[in-house]
Amino acid sequence: MKKIDEYQGKKVLVMGFGISGINAAHLLVKLGANVTANDKATPKNNDIVDDLEADGIRVITGDNPISLANEGFDVVVKNPGIPYDNPLVAAFVKQGTPIITEAELGWQIFDGHLVSVTGSNGKTTTTTLTQLMIAENAKHQVKYAGNIGISFSKIADDLGPDDTLVTELSSFQLLGAPTIHPHIAIITNIFSNHLDYHKTRENYINAKLNITRNQTKDDFLVINWDRDEWQKIAQRSQATIVPFSRLNKSHEGSYVEDGMIYWRGQEVMPTKDIRLIGPQNVENALAAIAAAKLSGVTNDAIKKVLTTFSGVRHRLQYVMEYQERLFYNDSKSTDIEATEVALQGFDRPVILLAGGLDRGYTFERLVPYFKKHVKAMIVFGECKDKMKDAGNQAGVPVIESENAITAVPEAWKLSEPGDVILLSPANASWDQFPSFEVRGDKFIEAVEELTGKKEQ
């Protein structure tokens, strides 16, 4: 941990009691700040409040009182998910109070080598692969943190100047990280996600580009080269551009040619040896390979990781095989693009479980993928009627169910040996579950109950 005095004697408000907020509050006390912690909800677990108060932190729950804006806070550390049009946040914006996220705080105390990953899809898998690859050859600690479910500031507190941290960063986190400066930044792809939060696609792109805003020519931006738009976005960075591409050969980076992965013209390994399925995971591997090679990782270390790593939980996660049916949990597919790439990863008939929060869009884009890959659909949630319409357009049998749990036995009844039963919702979970993680866990529990087996 790097010693800093920016917060000594400062009044700091922490908004949100998630993992990152709680860790940030305790760290700020350690850094000498006078901390108030606020959450709109009242925690069901009193231990959270007791623990904060035991560290001398003032705790306010059950509301975001607008009166807090008049207390002269020097800095606000905001949970990334709290929108900027929240009345209290908007009041701080109006008066010019600095608003940061826990990722910025983590960066301020970090004293090692930073690799950061963002993008619409593939962030967690790419982050994990990158960390595993670098760790294979490392003489010092190599950890991961961030949007992957581990507090950036907590891990940064434990690392020294020779250590490496690979961070997954969401657009929400990056909006509040004005000074973050990774030596290697990765942008996996950019689609049109979270427009309910960012309002416009350009706002969303600008938030993503904060990952490279402070980079110089001595740093590296690893970016997907498979779309013209992404190539143009790369021109907005001052870093040295390192492309990765599944579709376009580029000797400046990592790419695929005739089933072989190359790094700057040198063979690395065949794509068929990657244990993860699907073209999206070839792209994730290419991004991780580029970051790993820039970090001095050997081909043998890269091969070891890619031939053994079986996936991140909820990201096209293999659950089990039962009576010649394969179950996959892809609950992290909360948008159309993620479900598109998930379906392309299978050469077997798929029974698709899909649906969730209605964000106002329809699913015609999925019709060609339904026609090619899906033999039946089980739909649920707020948008089930829209999902059903797309299935009908594709000529696929569609059954309605209550949720991702009740859909499992319905899918089983429709299945035959050789089929894949896939949860890939194409929608957020918040209409029925508090998170995609809970939705995926409940799906796995339903599979275990159906089969009498534990996930593999």
Confidence of residue 456 (pLDDT cuts 50, 70, 90): confident
| Residue from 335, 336, 315, 312 nearest 422 by CA | 315
| 29 and 82 together in one domain | yes
Please tell me the total count of domains within the chain: 3
| 112 and 49 together in one domain | no
| 94 and 119 together in one domain | no
Range of the domain at 27: 11-100
pLDDT, tens only, 45-65: 789 999 999 999 999 999 999
- Give 257's strand partners: 260
Q: Provide the percentage of residues in the chain whose pLDDT is more than 70.
A: 100
3-class secondary structure, 150: strand
- Name the CA radius of gyration of the chain, rounded: 23
Contact 144, 168 (CB under 8 A): yes
Last residue within a domain, chosen from 274, 308, 342: 308
Contact 259, 218 (CB under 8 A): no
Out of 209-213, 357-361, 383-387, 447-451, pick the least confident: 357-361
For 388-424, the DSSP string reads HHHHHHTT--EEE-SSTTTHHHHHHHH--TT-EEEE-
**Amino acid at residue number 133:** M
| 323 and 443 together in one domain | yes
Contact 114, 183 (CB under 8 A): yes
pLDDT, tens only, 103-156: 999 999 999 999 999 999 899 999 999 999 999 989 999 999 998 889 999 999
| 208 and 349 together in one domain | no
39: domain CATH number is: 3.40.50.720
| 445 and 381 together in one domain | yes
Which residues contact residue 415 at a Cβ distance below 8 angstroms, ignoring those fewer than 6 apart? 325, 351, 421
pLDDT, tens only, 254-267: 999 999 999 999 99
Region 81-97 average pLDDT: 96
pLDDT, tens only, 300-312: 999 999 999 988 8
| 147 and 276 together in one domain | yes
Distances (CA, A) of 408 to 328, 389, 398, 420, 422: 11, 21, 14, 12, 9
Last residue within a domain, chosen from 50, 69, 100: 100
Q: What are phi and psi of 329, to 5 degrees?
A: -105, 110
pLDDT value, residue 193: 67
Q: Which residue is associated with the tokens 């409940």?
A: 442
